[in-house]
Amino acid sequence: MSVQTMKWGILGPGWISSKFVKDLAFAEGAELVAVGGRNLEKAERFAKEYNIPRAYGSIEELTQDSEIDIVYVGTLHPIHKENVLALLRAGKAVICEKPFTMNAAEAREIITLAREKRVFLMEAMWTRFLPPILKVMEWIADGKIGEVRMLKADFGFDIGWAPESRLLDPALGGGALLDAGIYPVSFASLIFGGAPSKILSSARLGETGVDEQFSLLFEYEGGRTASLNGAVQLEMVNDAYIYGTKGHIHVPNFLFGKSAYLHPKQGAAESIEDDREAEGYSFEAEEAMNALREGRLESSIIPLDETLAIMETLDTIRKQWGLRYPTDE
């Protein structure tokens, strides 16, 4: 039996949207019908490259397209809030790229409107939906490594010295925490089921004023801890290790979730290898479409309250560093 087709719009014809669009072809029941952005010429080029029927030069035109069921927002961090609010007001379901917003106040405003309008909204934290990550959570739920006591997760890459880059521009939400750090911070929330009770952190603030690297230590109830590191000017290994009282789990290059390895103290080791052809953005698209078909207003895999709690955690960390963005005013 074929599933109900869901018609997609794309807001922001850039690099991350191109990755999402390529993977959308692997999502059952997805039909891409429109792309919009602030530059019509760029939107038209994107539409031509990915065989999208309609291109718009403004968000207003995209919101007025009555055929669109759901919109993927892949714009720059500082305009996520205004983009998502406009789409929600038009009754469009939304999945918004990480980081969800620049700060918790923006996230709270968006979530409040979505709930008032009763419109589906989800953070596009694609790692959560990957088969190896789902298997990791299954192993933990089944007690394969006992009580989880410790997590170590890193994500860092080296862009070199590029002060003109979005990643080093405070006006655009630059820095390691929002771009790289969101992955280990969100992963810690997934593993421990909530926000930390205590946060210790350290960061190197560079010449442009943003964090070029950071280290975080989260403490949870019962002395459980997460050690998280990230960078935009350091090449890192990017693995995750989850340690429990009866064994541990290793997730190589965890945010891309291609494999995971279970190492119990007793019993046979297990592993999962994902040979998917797509990168993996199709899984979050399928979750969003299934939610719409079932009448759900949010995802149980990344609920809106958890997205808000994660943004509050990021705010707390930045406050410790004295790092503020123009949108914090």
The single residue of 98, 135, 144, 258 carrying the catalytic annotation is: 98
Tokens for 34, please give them.
């429109």
Per the annotation, the verdict on 98 as an active-site residue is yes
Instruction: Give the angle subtended at the CA of 241 by the CAs of 218 and 288, to the nearest 5°.
Output: 80
> Which positions ≥6 away from 11 have C-beta within 8 Å?
17, 35, 36, 37, 59, 62, 71, 72, 73, 74, 75, 83, 87
Nearest-angstrom CA–CA distance, 15 and 133: 24
Q: Tell me which residues are annotated as active site.
A: 98
